Amino acid sequence: MIYGFNADEVFQIAIDIEKNGKRFYEKAMDLVDNPDVKALLSSLAQDEVEHLKTFTELKAQLSRAATENTVWDPEHEMNRYLQMMADMHVFRSDLDVGEGLSRVKSLEDALNLGIQFEKDSIIFFLAMQDATEEKRGREFIGQLVDEEKKHLKKLSLELRRHNVREVTTVH
């Protein structure tokens, strides 16, 4: 364990990520015309709401040990480092979501941005899972990873379907 973060801190960041994921998918729906992709983005936004509820419940179930500092840190440096790490890997604010969406010029751009968002979330959660010392907390974080993998799969399949349709219409 390099960092010694506790699961409570990771779950709070996960909750923030899910809130921004919901905002991202809702705003991305306004940028695409394809009804199938709109439906997918709407479904993913709803999934984020469900994930948010689940993660909030999981956070509430954490043991006291999962909410305590794992190392002496009177200046809260670990929490600041954790926040910085999250800032580097995922949408952490409305500004980040808006900036990302401002670069969306096509359906593929929207899908690729969603894919990047989910990949970044998975990478962040895996890093935090490894850095969390409490066993039950690591298990809960594993559930976060599984949920994000489902989103990644849905987005990747839709991008593949769209690319296949583009190729078949060109011939």
Residue 132 has φ and ψ, to the nearest 5°, of -95, 130
pLDDT at 171: 36
- Please give the domain boundaries of the chain with CATH numbers for all domains: 7-164 (1.20.1260.10)
Predicted TM-score (pTM) of the model is 0.77
- Per-residue pLDDT of 95-136, as tens digits, reads 677 788 888 888 899 999 999 889 988 888 887 777 676 787
Tell me the CA end-to-end span of the chain in Å, nearest whole number.
Answer: 54
Average pLDDT for 68-75: 63
